[in-house]
Amino acid sequence: MLEVHGKRILSGIQPSGVLHIGNYFGAIRQHIALQEDNQCYYFVANYHAMTTIHDKDELTQNTLMVALDYLALGLNPQKAVLFVQSDVPEVTELAWMLSTITPMGLLERAHAYKDKLAKGISPNHGLFAYPVLMAADILIYDSHLVPVGKDQKQHVEMTRDMAEKFNSLYGEVLTIPDALILPEVAVVPGIDGQKMSKSYGNTIEIFCDYKTLKSRVMSIVTDSTPLEAPKDPDNSTIIDLYKLFASAEEVEAMRQKFLAGGYGYGHAKKELLEKIWNYFEPYRKKREELAANMDYVHQVLREGAFKARESAEQVMDRVRKAAGVVRHISFDKAFM
């Protein structure tokens, strides 16, 4: 686990689909562990998701589901601040200010953007400006560390560039953040053996029902070694997934059964299925309780928004003064 203490930590989660076990082992679990010794701010990046989702019900539903999932998986609102990005609209104000100092070339070099172009996606301005909004997300809370997967590293570097440029123009106003690259101890494979990702359609969801989980696990792609024959435990998606849920002894036992033969992939998948189902059982219970009490979830998000906005307001005060942005009224806290 990550050894980080006493830092202001911030990360955003795009509500672009249902969370899967790759997200859990690659990000969510670390996010939640960091809440113990740090001041963590986690938000659902619904403005970012608007670059790809244009269905209002889908956006609303996904936004609430991510919050619900984080709470079910152990995010403690007494320890960490959980909120929705759009509850702090000042972030779009800061994004605008940053966009006025961000060179086009910097954005044109963004890998995530270039990848989307290469896939033939016709880009909207939001997709192009995505890193500027992400920089505003980070800078508006004076964040020290941004725990993200390595795919997001460049966006954090761009954030630093923007903050340095802003500070060189206006004085030491913005805190320069660092990326905390989440260790890929577990690049979780999907059911086809490639990296698990929504965009490959190869995911196993954290909170699906048993029947769906069973059909996903049973669909894990294997070679056609017959049941009686020995099997290779070192190149098996089943074992790679099993490692995430089982003890070292259990993994070794499965490896031996592979090597011995007389043990089919179907048997191994059944063992994996039970492990996954049981692993998430307490979280599933918690999630059911929360889903039956959405008022509580909304209350958590309201309190989170309040704390986040209070903190953002302080930074914006500095930013506006430094840049000479005149304001004649303030609605501070009037919304409560």
Nearer to ligand ADP, 48 or 144 (CB): 48
> Does residue number 14 form part of the binding site for ligand TRP (CB under 6 A)?
yes
DSSP, collapsed to helix, strand or coil, labels residue 80 as: strand
Residue 138 interacts, among ligand ADP, ligand TRP, none and using kind-specific CB cut-offs from 5 to 8 Å, with ligand TRP
Interaction of residue 61 with ligand ADP, rule CB under 6 A: no
- Interface pattern 150-169 for ligand ADP (x via CB under 6 A): -xx-----------------
Helices (H), ranges, the chain: 21-23, 29-34, 46-49, 56-72, 90-99, 104-108, 111-118, 125-139, 153-170, 210-218, 237-245, 248-260, 265-279, 281-291, 294-323
Phi, psi of 322 (to 5 degrees): -65, -35
Stretch that binds ligand ADP, among 80-88, 91-99, 197-205, 213-221 (CB under 6 A): 197-205
Q: Does 149 bind ligand ADP (CB under 6 A)?
A: yes
In DSSP terms, which residues pair with 9 in a beta bridge? 40, 145
Terminal-residue alpha carbon distance, the chain: 38
C-alpha span between 256 and 270 (Å, rounded): 16
Among 23, 39, 63, 143, binds ligand ADP (CB under 6 A): 23
**Residue showing tokens 């260790």:** 183
Please name which of 126, 229, 140, 124 lies closest in space to residue 177, comparing C-alpha atoms: 140
Judged by CB under 6 A, does residue 182 bind ligand ADP?
A: yes
- SS3 label, residue 148: strand
Which part of the chain contacts ligand ADP (CB under 6 A), choosing from 54-62, 126-134, 146-154, 272-280? 146-154
Q: Name the minimum Å distance from CB 20 to ligand ADP.
A: 6
Quick check: helix, strand or coil at residue 205? strand
Q: Does residue 62 belong to the site contacting ligand TRP (CB under 6 A)?
A: no
Q: Which stretch binds ligand TRP (CB under 6 A): 11-19, 98-106, 208-216, 292-300?
A: 11-19
Q: Are 47 and 13 in contact (CB under 8 A)?
A: no
The reply to whether 126 sits near ligand ADP by the rule CB under 6 A is no
**Smallest gap from residue 305 Cβ to ligand TRP (A):** 16
Q: How far is the CB of 266 from ligand TRP (least distance, A)?
A: 35
> Which residues participate in catalysis according to the annotation?
116, 195, 198
Length of the chain: 336
Torsion of CA 242, 34, 112, 55, to 10 degrees: 90
Q: Which of 7, 20, 31, 48 lies at the binding interface for ligand TRP (CB under 6 A)?
A: 48
State yes or no: residue 312 binds ligand ADP (CB under 6 A): no
Q: Pick the closest to residue 155 from 127, 123, 122, 187 (CA basis).
A: 127
Cα–Cα dist 58/114, whole Å: 26
Regarding 244 and contact with ligand ADP (CB under 6 A), the answer is no
CB of 91 to ligand TRP, least distance (A): 9
Residues that bind ligand ADP (CB under 6 A): 14, 22-23, 25-27, 148-149, 151-152, 182, 186-188, 195-199
Residues that bind ligand TRP (CB under 6 A): 10-12, 14, 45, 48, 134, 137-138, 146, 148, 152, 155
